[in-house]
Amino acid sequence: MLLRRQSNLNHTAYHEPGRESPRRLRCEVLPPVTRGDMSTLNLLAFDLGASGGRALLGTFDGERISVRVVHQFANGPVELAGHLYWPLPRLVSELRRGIAAAAQRCDGALDAIGIDTWGVDFGLLDADGDLLGNPVHYRDTRTRGMFDAAFARMPKEEIFRHTGLAFQPFNTLYQLLAVKMSKPAMLEAASGLLFMPDLLAYFLTGERATEYTDASTSQLLEAESRIWCEPLIKAMGFPAELFTSIEEPGTIRGVISQSIQDELQLGAVPVVAVASHDTASAVVAIPAEGGGTAYLSSGTWSLLGLELPSPVLSDDVLRWNLTNEGGFGGTIRLLRNVMGLWIVQECKRVWESAGSSASYEELVRLSTESRPFTAVIDPDDPVFYSPGDMPENIRDYCARTAQTVPSSRGEITRTVYESLALRYRWTVEKLEAVTGNHIERLAIVGGGVKNSLLNQFTADALQRPVVAGYAEATALGNLLVQVHALGELSGLQEIRQVVRASFPAEIFEPRDPAPWDEAFGRFVKITEAA
């Protein structure tokens, strides 16, 4: 195992005074770490998102890390008999292909593997360790009515006091309650519940355990003690034996099975329980740190929050639907789920199905050329949650709230981008209110960092600098937690020093606040009334 070393990286400067518009600056790439003799590490991250999965090979030389995609595969939900499922058997096959591709790139010298996915979804195993049906996708409708069913068993306020989690219909609590109410025989036959990253790791290693950050999104975990919430589990009537031991991110779960070793001509490669909830991994790789930095993981969902040492369980956190989720290194991620670029993705899909194709870059260009602040929407309105005719949903929302109705693709997408930025401002203000912390800057990671227009809108709306980091931050965080598990990086501070040394960030400085202040007033009035 590699020995930890002391890093000599300096902090990145986030502001360059005296620069005029355009307010986009390049951060300095930090000098390398001085290190002694050490072999290069080859790490494999599997990052499974809403539409696809990728295997990314990270090469860490003790100073910087490089990342490249070695395998890609589809991961959309599969509809069967009226329900949406994960295509699990195919995904396990894709994991093997990804391992083989990575091993080929590094001549079999593969040092570790980590897996991240989104949270809440799970699979059930029977007493023999066999899977009881394919896991159900979180956008399935089986959780309709489950809020009322859960609150009849334990009041909403009491659930929040235990878990500190926002109330989302897709949380594991409501999915599992739906199983209990509609398929009680399945729950009776189950001897174990594994969240998706843990389930995939189980099929690689044969080991059962639960990684903390993913479990923290389930609404079944005590926020403060970080253990399974026995009173809630008992109140819901869930068998206690379903829930396995909880491991901190950075724990080595096991090694790939003998059959995989033989099939792929590999040794006993360790599988690391990384920060396996994808947002937790992305936050590991933000390009900034310090008490004045908030983070935004920008993609299909927008997750905006603060890293804290302990959960915040105040009435305002409950009222504003903020949530306390687990992070790497003993942190709590106090955040809000915002609908995110899903809305634009659905608009694009609808336009393409009608024969009007356009790339995301083209939609950004059309947005730039459109009139500002035609209308505002609440990205978190339930009408924007499910697949459907998203452009028509946006027009209907604007008509229903007595606003000018955007018509062109540019007007519609600009309305979405501006409204996301305004929701980010609202969220930052609420985070400051419940914590007493002053937020000086926002660090953005994820696919949304490629959208310079939205990044600039966000800086303008917040009137704070926006630091746009690495687009593949989820995979990067996954990889660097593997490095930590192998003993080379001591914790978050050293991990983020490597992030800043490896990938230059881009800064967006705020411009004239007046139009954004006026728009924010309209946004608050319209969204609260709606």
Contact 235, 140 (CB under 8 A): no
Provide the sign of the torsion angle of the four alpha carbons 16, 21, 26, 27, taken in this order: positive
Nearest to 377, CA basis, from 360, 401, 347: 401
Secondary structure class of 9 (helix, strand, coil): coil
Give the Å distances, CA to CA, from 220 to 70, 177, 247, 315: 36, 11, 15, 19
Distance CA 140, CA 83 (A): 6
Provide the sign of the torsion angle of the four alpha carbons 316, 320, 325, 328, taken in this order: negative
Q: Determine how many CB atoms are found less than 10 A away from the CB of residue 529.
A: 8
Distance CA 164, CA 169 (A): 15
Distance CA 176, CA 235 (A): 13
The distance of Cα 172 from the centroid of its chain, to the nearest Å, equals: 16
Exposed, middle or buried, 367 (CB in 10 Å: 0-12/13-18/19+)? buried
Distance CA 458, CA 439 (A): 14
Kindly report the backbone phi and psi dihedral angles of residue 467, in degrees, each rounded to the nearest multiple of 5, phi listed first: -100, 110
Region for 30 from its dihedrals, namely left if φ exceeds 0, alpha if ψ lies in -120 to 50, beta otherwise: beta
Which of the 8 DSSP states describes residue 387?
S
Q: Amino acid identity of 46?
A: F
Kindly report the backbone phi and psi dihedral angles of residue 372, in degrees, each rounded to the nearest multiple of 5, phi listed first: -75, 150
- Crossing angle of helices 146-153 and 172-182, in 10° steps, is 90
Distance CA 259, CA 140 (A): 34
Tokens 């899909």 -> residue: 349
Catalytic residue among 140, 278, 380, 460: 278
Distance CA 74, CA 53 (A): 6
Q: Is residue 278 annotated as part of the catalytic site, yes or no?
A: yes
**Helices (DSSP H) in 389-472: which residue ranges?**
390-400, 409-435, 452-462
Q: What letters, b where the CB count within 10 A reaches 16 and e where it falls short, cover 303-330?
A: bbbbbbeebbbeeebbebebbbbbbbbe
DSSP per position, 69-131: EEEEEE---EEETTEEE--HHHHHHHHHHHHHHHHHHTTT---EEEEEB-SS-EEEE-TTS-B
Please list the active-site residues. Answer: 278
